[in-house]
Amino acid sequence: MSSTSQKHRSFVSEPMGEKPITDVAGIGEVLGKRLISKGFDKAYVLLGQFLVLKKNQELFTEWLKEISGANAKQSNDCFQCLKDWCDEFL
């Protein structure tokens, strides 16, 4: 995890609780607003979609690009953040 951002490390270091969507690595204010408008207002709601897509990187990153307009780096950062959180807590 040495190449991850501080945002990523902070997210993965503790239980999710009611964290806002923008706490997930790769999701900034612009993507956060787009996701909120589609009903993904909390990190745990995004985690639910991640799990529905069976933690599959290709499926999740393509879905995120389609729904929010995320670029490849943002979608991969988000995927890795949720995957590492699952590895730590599930």
pLDDT at 5 over 50: yes
d(CA 63, CA 59): 6
Class of CATH domain 6-89 = mainly alpha
Domain spans in the chain, listed from the N-terminal domain onward: 6-89
The fraction of the chain above a pLDDT of 90, given in percent, is 96
- Tens-place pLDDT, residues 33-71: 999 999 999 999 999 999 999 999 999 999 999 999 999
pLDDT at 4: 83
pLDDT at 2 over 60: no
